[in-house]
Structure 1
Amino acid sequence: MSTDDLPETFHVTTDEQLRAVSNLTRHRIMAVLRFEPSTITQIAERIGLAKGSSSYHVRLLERAGLIKVVRTRKVRGVTERYYAMAARTLHLPDPGEGGPDVVMRHAIADLEASPADGERHVRQAHLRITDEQFAELGERLHALVAEYRELSDPALPDTTLAFALFHPRSKYKEETK
């Protein structure tokens, strides 16, 4: 199976899948596999992890159905497996009010682990916009991500974009109910 044949979305629905995707090391493995199939050795080198540890985490991801073997090849009598994501995107369940947001926790951990001397663009903006403007901004952000995802080249260094567009809990809104 080539990565061109992957379904568009994988819905994380089971506790096993949620536990697998919630681990930061496995999150980083999936980030590697998002762009090109890789072997355990390639994954280990890419994220700076021992080969045995990478193998353990890959097995958990595979068992949860989040990644799959997309091709194999024989190398000196050993079958080398190339893993890729099970789908182009993962859809995580809503954590619910007050619940931990796995995506944002991973984004913060990755940001904190990024080189301090590297170029970073981190901003937070508080806006007062209509519901229609909120929806339009969400659509524009998704379109921008899709546009740049099409431009992604596995030969280039990784870049992470994380955004969260939401209505914070507002004391004003609660008082007007």
Structure 2
Amino acid sequence: MPSDDLPDTFHVTTGEQLRAVSSLTRHRIMAVLRFEPATITQIAERVGLAKGSSSYHVRLLERAGLVKVVRMRKVRGVTERYYAMAARSIVLPDPGEGGPDVLMRHAVADLEASPAGSERHVRMAHLRLTDEQFTQLGARLEALADEYRELSDPSLPDTSLVFALFRPAPHRQAGGDTE
């Protein structure tokens, strides 16, 4: 982690913050900053952006309070700023009924962009659970993600873990069945 004094969570509550995290580019920038601070140049290289574009997106994230400057140093007369996440994790508001979850859209885009032939573990399972089992499984998945986040080493390649545990809306029968 960039700093031990970071708050555990940052709750996205404003429209500006939601717009900032809704961009796939900014999502990828935040992933770069998740474990260690980086300069605009470093961010641009890791995300595959021009420095100007990287700077623009980082400024939007900074203005929304999602990233912050954690260190500055002079390099050949220029002040170099190191940016880091403002919190260990970001909590988004519930997308509401029928609303696509921004994290899932970003996760699918990242999965589709991952190198062909790379190792992946993708699975979808349809379950029938009691309310108690549903709650227990959710807690176990979150605890497992937290456990492995604590084991993360910034020197290792990025790995993404995404899960969604939800109860789908009831499906209506095709053909307009009536009673």
Is this a same-fold pair by TM over 0.5? Answer: yes
Match of 1:139 in 2: 139
Match of 1:84 in 2: 84
Deviation at 1:125?
0.0
Displacement of 1:5 in angstroms is 1.0
Tell me the distance in 2 between the aligned counterparts of 1:142 and 1:95: 19
In structure 2, the gaps of 5 or more residues are 173-179
CA distance in 2, matches of 1:71, 1:44: 18
Q: For 1:100 and 1:168, how far apart are their aligned partners in 2?
A: 13
TM normalised by structure 2 equals 0.93
Matches within 5 A, 1:86-165: 86-165=86-165
2:63 maps to which residue?
63
Match of 1:54 in 2: 54
Q: Structure 1 residue 9 and structure 2 residue 3: aligned?
A: no
Count of residues paired in the alignment: 171
CA RMSD of aligned residues (A): 1.0
For the residue of structure 2 that corresponds to 1:71, the secondary structure is: strand
Percent identical across equivalent pairs? 81
* Aligned match of 1:175: none
How much does 1:116 deviate? 1.6
Quote the Cα distance in structure 1 between the aligned partners of 2:4 and 2:32.
16
Question: Which residue identity is paired with 1:31?
Answer: A
SS in 1 for 2:25: helix
Amino acid in structure 2 at the alignment position of 1:155? S
1:171: how far off?
Answer: 4.0
How far the C-alpha of 1:100 sits from its partner, in A, is: 1.8
1:73-101 Cα deviation digits (max 9, x unpaired):
11111111000011111010111001121
C-alpha distance in 2, partners of 1:64/1:57?
Answer: 11
Q: Structure 1, unaligned stretches of length 5 or more? A: 173-177
CA distance in 2, matches of 1:41, 1:63: 19
Q: Which amino acid counterpart does residue 61 of structure 1 have in structure 2?
A: L
Deviations 1:8-47 (A, max 9, x none): 1101011110000000000000000001000000000111
The residue type paired with residue 137 of structure 2 is L
Structure with greater proportional helix content = 1
Per-residue deviation, residues 145-173 of structure 1 (Å, max 9, x unmatched): 1110011000000000000000111248x
Amino acid in structure 1 at the alignment position of 2:158: D
